Amino acid sequence: MKIRMIFGLCLVLASLLFIFPPAVSAQQETIELSTPYTRLEATSGASFEFEIALNYTGTEARRFDLSATGPQNWMTYITPSYPKDKMIGDILLEPGETYGQAIAVYTAPPSWLSPEPGEYKITVEVTSGEIKGTIDLTAVVTAKYGMSLATPDGLLNTKATAGKDNYFSVVVTNTGSAAIDNITLSTQKPSGWTVEFSPAKIDSLAAGTSTTIDVNIKPPPKTIAGDYGILISATAMQRSVDLNIRVTVETPTIWGWVGVIIILLVIAGVGFVFMRFSRR
């Protein structure tokens, strides 16, 4: 009797399952995102490109919306894996498809922005109805070091008087994205010349800032008038730059007057001689 009852219940359950088959759970349809490299490294101002593989498991073809969120003010978008000349916002995926299920995620700061060194997050999201997949990526920005050395007016020449203090200025600018430390000023100059810097050392120069260096150029007193070259260098551990300056040396004013007096004396002497001999 019990066996018949159990057998009858089994028949009833089988009939119900046949008439009302269980709905396929939405969880059986999944989208999975993967990449060989979730972290890419580049210097400040450079771009980053990630390759993302899409693995869709389901019962039918689906169209998935694509979105990528990057750092503020950065340009971030998605392209096909090939060709990469289009920005796309969705993709049609076939279940189990192994070809064409890759996308590229591109992100870069604008040209006017040099991000500070650090880690910047990018989130990629793929959705179709209740099916959703995400992946987090990291753009690692390393320091970009740059330094320039120039004059305040852009001119690369100056005048100097032999034996005198002659003041000149140069400007050191940090053109990179990170501070530059321990900058020392030095020069290559003609023998016997004195070139002094104030200050002669900069402890630290922040990114995007400048400082003015006063330069005292002193040629020896007996320097012959003419053009001379000196090389000014700003040197740090991270970077070094040079600046060539042409120095036009002039004779001190007192020597000019001495020359005039000598010429007048010579003329007077010649006149005196001429007058004396002409009387004879």
User: Domain for residue 65, yes or no?
Assistant: yes
Which of 142, 162, 196 is a domain's end point?
Answer: 142
Which of 142, 171, 200 is a domain's end point?
Answer: 142
> What is the percent of the chain with per-residue pLDDT over 70, rounded to a whole number?
80
Do 176 and 241 share a structural domain?
A: yes
Do 123 and 199 share a structural domain?
A: no
The answer on pLDDT for 245 being more than 70 is yes
Do 160 and 105 share a structural domain?
A: no
Do 224 and 129 share a structural domain?
A: no
The string of DSSP codes covering the chain is -HHHHHHHHHHHHHHHHHHSPPPPPGGGSEEEEE-S-SEEEEETT--EEEEEEEEEESSS-EEEEEEEE-STT-EEEEEESS--S---SEEEE-TT--SS-EEEEEEE--TT--PPSEEEEEEEEEEETTEEEEEEEEEEEEP---EEEE-TTS--EEEEETTS-EEEEEEEEE-SSS-EEEEEEEEE--TT-EEEEESSEEEEE-TT-EEEEEEEEE--TTPPSEEEEEEEEEE-SS-EEEEEEEEEEE--HHHHHHHHHHHHHHHHHHHHHHHHHHH-
User: Domain for residue 138, yes or no?
Assistant: yes
Instruction: Kindly state the average pLDDT of the residues 84-112.
Output: 87
Do 90 and 156 share a structural domain?
A: no
Do 34 and 128 share a structural domain?
A: yes
Q: How confident is residue 275, by pLDDT bands cut at 50, 70 and 90?
A: low
Do 171 and 230 share a structural domain?
A: yes
Instruction: Kindly state the average pLDDT of the residues 139-158.
Output: 95
How many domains does one find in the chain?
2
User: Domain for residue 277, yes or no?
Assistant: no
Do 172 and 126 share a structural domain?
A: no
Residue 25 confidence (pLDDT): 44
Higher pLDDT among residues 117 and 3, named by residue? 117
CATH of the domain at 202: 2.60.40.10
200-224 residue pLDDT tens: 999 999 999 999 999 999 999 999 9
